[in-house]
Amino acid sequence: MLKVESLTIEEIRERYPNEWVLIEYEETDSAFNIIKGHVLTHSPVKEEVYQALMNTKGKNIAIEYTGHIPEDLAVMF
């Protein structure tokens, strides 16, 4: 059986810079920011990560972008 590595959000950002990351999260803070989880897939192409989202029914899922988001850009989910 494949063992999935649990990473902190800092480790995820370091390992997958400037990419979209699909995370099955294990732990969040009170504002629902990810603290720790498993990376299910990652890509610099957002659509590839959203395609993988189709196979995550029943999991605690989040999508994060690990690059810089300009301050004048609003992001809505």
The pLDDT, as a whole number, for residue 77 is: 56
- Of 29, 31, 22, give the one whose Cα is nearest residue 4: 22
- Reported as a single tens digit per residue, the pLDDT across 1-47 is 455 789 999 999 999 999 999 999 999 999 999 999 999 999 999 99
DSSP string, 2-46: PPPPEEEHHHHHHHSTT-EEEEEEEEE-TT--EEEEEEEEEESSH
Report the predicted TM-score, pTM, of the whole model to 2 decimal places: 0.84
Give the confidence band of 71 by pLDDT, cuts at 50, 70, 90.
Answer: confident
Q: Per-residue confidence at 76, pLDDT binned at 50, 70, 90?
A: low
Sequence ranges of the domains in the chain: 8-65
> In this predicted structure, what is the pLDDT of residue 75?
63
